[in-house]
Amino acid sequence: MFEAAVQGLTQLMQPVPLGWLVLGVALGLWGGALPGVGGPAQLAVLLPFAMLMTPINAIAFLIGVASVGNTGNTFTSVLVAVPGGSGSQATILDGYPMARRGEAKRALSASFMASMLGGIIGAFFLFASVPILKPLIRSFGSPELFMFTIWGISMVGILSAGAPIKGLTAGILGVLVSTIGQDEKSGVIRFDIGEPYLWNGISIVLVSLSVFAIPEVIAMATRRGKVAELTPLGETGIWQGIKDTFIHWKLVIRCSLVGVWVGILPGLGSSVADWFAYAHARQTEKNPETFGTGDVRGVIAPESSNNAKEGGDLIPTLFFGIPGGSSAALLLIGFVAVGLKPGPDIINTQLDSVFAIIWALVLSQVLASILCWVFIRPAAQICVLSFHILVPLIVALSLLSAFAANFAIEDIFTLLALSVMGFIMKKYGWPRAPFVLGVILGPKMELYLWLSVARYDMGWLLHPGVIALGLLIIGTFAYPVWRDARARRAAA
Amino acid sequence: MSAILSGRNLFTLFILLVFLGALVTASEWPLRASIIVLVLGVCGAGLALAQLIVDLRKPRTDKDTPRPTYETPSIETEDPSLGARATWETWAWLVGLVVMVPIVGLPVALTAFVLLYCRAHGGGWPISLLLTALVAGFIYGVYVQIMHVYWPSSWLGGLLEGIIEI
């Protein structure tokens, strides 16, 4: 294991992968600082380019883009009181009042430091999970893995707040979309509507672009103009912010643990991590009455948690091939495209790549915070870039990415058709992450189900692991019902 | 009546019909190819029907529809009528761009789109030309020089070639 860790670091510390990492971090921060764009949209646009890279370059680039969005989000949360992404909503509660008081630099600096420490703690847990999970993963066969895919989609679907039925339906619809094209087991061509173009199925790149990127661009174009006016940065406060984080180091560790835990559980995204951490800080810290009025602890708690989540998120993604959310799902697509095999095998066959991912995660966090400190003033201006610059740029990149999926013009038409669906899903509150997760996990789910039936007939249903996971799935279904019933009783 | 025929309900109905269509189609395939579609299709159709019933019993407007937890927060325009018009306008731009792709080719359609969109929405000539140059440079640098992409021939390109040959 130690050898693999060194090997992973050596692979990453070469000029070319490091260059891709820096570019990925810069793009991740830029995307994070744009209000309303969000990490998945940006990742969806950049994914096809990463798919053409060597594995180590793709790892460096994708981890750079995916892991620092929450750090970039802080600019909009603190300076314009608009969350840049779902992971920085709680930061507004105290970050914006601090900025209004003239302490914007202090709030931002504390958030960068907390983000960096949280990210490193998350990466440490990913590292520590390797020896713990190794024996467990080896005991898994196709029946357990089939149940895992079901659990992953159920969790992401059901935990879509306020829309559990829609979430589950979207997940199943995603699995259905994944079945389009020729079935390798039987040779049957499924749902091709007479079009040879569909024989190879629909590229996951097109699905992710149309579900995440284009609807966000439409929303951005619809808003018009700047999102809000920028609050002045002020002159001092950077060192004070760093000091604040170290003064509250216990809070950083506790909230990072909250983030890691949220990341491990499929379906709970950054937004849950930051609100959980904020609530935890309010419940456990002294003088909670100052929260919400510009207390630096209200910035440190969510920011350390949402970055620690990234490490936790990669645990099910890498070791079980079950992504916990939208960004992890897109990362999974990129990793598979460049030859990594996320799932139980990765721990035995590609451990050096796992460690390269862990190192890339650590380096990205450090680099992101340094870049934010150094370029704090120009970076703040990104939040108020006008839509007439961003919309054509993102549309152009989206279409180029779609074309790069298969180098076929038909992909552009498919993108437009699927974008209509992505837009309607966003408009009517249908969760989009379970849909994409369904498309990604569909082929695996079908393969594991078929292998289980072929190998054990119906006997696989009695495997202890299958029963345990089955109970977990039932619990996942039962929890929202129990929660709603309890809330109704309390209201009565 | 208008509440029953709302866009929300029609979309849920569409999803339900997709599942039912998939079930009917898959019933003709061998079990090996249809098992996952049949199992999940039944669940999906049941859930879509349940959602439709829930929505019909408790009509909701767009604003009070709960947002999924991990979605990027929406930032809405203050004037809803302006928002609706801008949405249609943006779709028109996108459809126009996609229609232009087979006619003039992807690189030309994209660069023209960037220039025209930026100019039409208040960007000055310097920023519009700079953005266009950026996109054209990206296409040339990454797609032509690095990836050596073969661009499918466009309708206009084919026509020009034909004229030149004549």
Subunit contact B90:A399, Cβ cutoff 8 A: no
In chain B, residues with a C-beta closer than 8 Å to the C-beta of A218 are: 87, 90-91, 94
Residue A61's pLDDT band (cuts 50, 70, 90): very high
Is there a contact between A222 and B114 if contact means CB atoms under 8 Å apart? no
Residue pair B48/B12 in contact (Cβ under 8 Å)? The answer is yes
CA distance A299 to A210: 33
Residues of B in contact with A36 (CB under 8 A): 72-75
Taking the CA atoms of B107, B110, B114 and B120 in sequence, report the sign of the dihedral they define.
Answer: positive
d(CA A488, CA A484): 6
Quote the pLDDT of residue B70: 46
Mean pLDDT taken over chain A: 83
Name the β-bridge partners of A182: A189
Degrees to nearest 5, angle at CA A13 with A11 and A15: 105
Beta-carbon separation of B70 and A270 below 8 A? yes
Decide if B15 is inside a domain.
Answer: yes
Report DSSP state, residue B152.
P
A256 or A262, greater pLDDT: A256
Please provide residue A182's backbone torsions phi and psi, each rounded to the nearest 5 degrees.
-75, 130
Rounded CA-CA distance A169/B41 in Å is 10
Q: For residue B109, what is the nearest residue in chain A, using CA coordinates?
A: A396
More confident of the two residues A433 and A110: A110
**Beta-carbon count within 10 A of A141 CB:** 17
Residue B83 lies in a domain: no
What is the pLDDT, as a whole number, of residue B69? 47
How many CB atoms neighbour CB A472 within 10 A? Answer: 16
Task: Supply the pLDDT for residue A231.
Answer: 65
Mean pLDDT of A399-405: 83
Judge whether B124 is closer than 8 Å to chain A, CB to CB: no
B128 assigned to some structural domain: yes
Regarding whether B161 and B100 lie in a shared domain, the answer is yes
Query: CB of A175 within 8 Å of any CB in chain B?
Result: yes
Closest CA to A416 of B15, B11, B98: B98
- Asked if A403 and B106 come within 8 Å (Cβ–Cβ), the reply is yes
pLDDT of residue A338 exceeding 70, the answer is yes
Q: Please determine, for residue B1, whether its predicted confidence score (pLDDT) is greater than 60.
A: no
Q: How many independent structural domains does chain B possess?
A: 2
Q: What chain A residue is nearest to B87 in terms of C-alpha separation?
A: A222
Q: From CA A478, how far away is CA A475, in angstroms rounded?
A: 5
Does a structural domain hold residue B2? Answer: no
Instruction: For residue B26, give its domain range.
Output: 7-57
Please compute the mean of the pLDDT values over residues A133-150 and round it to a whole number: 80
In tens, the pLDDT along A99-118 reads: 878 788 888 899 999 999 99
Return the closest-CA partner of residue B86 out of A218, A216, A417. A218
| Portion of chain A with pLDDT greater than 90, in percent | 14
CA–CA distance, A106 with A141 (Å, rounded to integer):
51
Global pTM value: 0.78
Q: Does A461 touch chain B (CB under 8 A)?
A: no
| Shortest distance, CA B165 to any CA of chain A (angstroms) | 26
Q: Are residues B99 and B160 in the same domain?
A: yes
B110 and B52 in a single domain? The answer is no
Which chain B residues are within 8 Å of A427, Cβ to Cβ?
A: 7, 62
Q: What is the DSSP string of A362-419?
A: HHHHHHHHHHHHHTHHHHHHHTT--HHHHHHHHHHHHHHHHHHHHS-THHHHHHHHHH
Residue B87 lies in a domain: no
Q: What is the DSSP letter of A172?
A: H
- Using CB atoms, pick whichever of B30, B70, B102 lies closest to residue A188: B30
Mean pLDDT for the stretch of residues B71-86 = 59
Q: Given CB atoms, is B30 within the 8 Å cutoff of chain A?
A: yes
Q: Is A129 on the interface with B (CB under 8 A)?
A: no
CA distance, residue A153 to nearest chain B CA (Å): 12
B148 occurs within a structural domain: yes
pLDDT range class, residue A235, cuts 50, 70, 90? low
Residue of A102, A72, A70 whose CA lies nearest to A294: A102
Is A216 in Cβ contact with B75 (below 8 Å)? no
Residue B35 lies in a domain: yes
Q: How confident is the model at residue B118 (pLDDT cuts 50, 70, 90)?
A: very high
* Whole-angstrom distance, CA of residue A410 vs CA of residue B153: 13
ipTM above 0.90 for this complex: no
Residues 63-122 of B with CB under 8 A from A: 65-77, 82-83, 86-87, 89-91, 93-95, 97-98, 101-102, 106, 110, 113-114, 117-118, 121-122
Nearest-CA residue of chain B relative to A324? B70
Q: What average pLDDT does range A180-201 have in this prediction?
A: 86
In a domain, B67, yes or no: no
Shortest CA distance from A90: residue in chain B: B73
**Residue B150 DSSP code:** P
**Residue B141 DSSP symbol:** I
Tell me, yes or no, whether B158 and B99 share the same domain. yes
pLDDT higher at B108 or B56? B108
Burial class (CB in 10 A: 0-12, 13-18, 19+), B139: buried
The answer to whether the beta carbons of residues A416 and B98 sit under 8 Å apart is yes
pLDDT at residue B75, as a whole number = 47
Say if the Cβ atoms of A408 and B152 lie within 8 Å.
Answer: yes
Q: Which residues pair with A189 in a beta bridge?
A: A182
List residues bridging with A181 in a β-sheet: A190
3-state SS assignment for residue A182: strand
The DSSP annotation for A186-243 comes to: T--EES-TT-GGGGG---HHHHHIIIIIHHHHHHHHHH-S-SSPPPP--S--HHHHHH
Cα dihedral B136→B141→B147→B153 (10° resolution): 30
How far A445 CA lies from chain B's nearest CA (Å)?
8
Contact A167/B68, CB-based, under 8 Å?
yes
Inform me whether the pLDDT recorded for B47 exceeds 80. yes
* Residue A253: pLDDT band with limits 50, 70, 90: very high
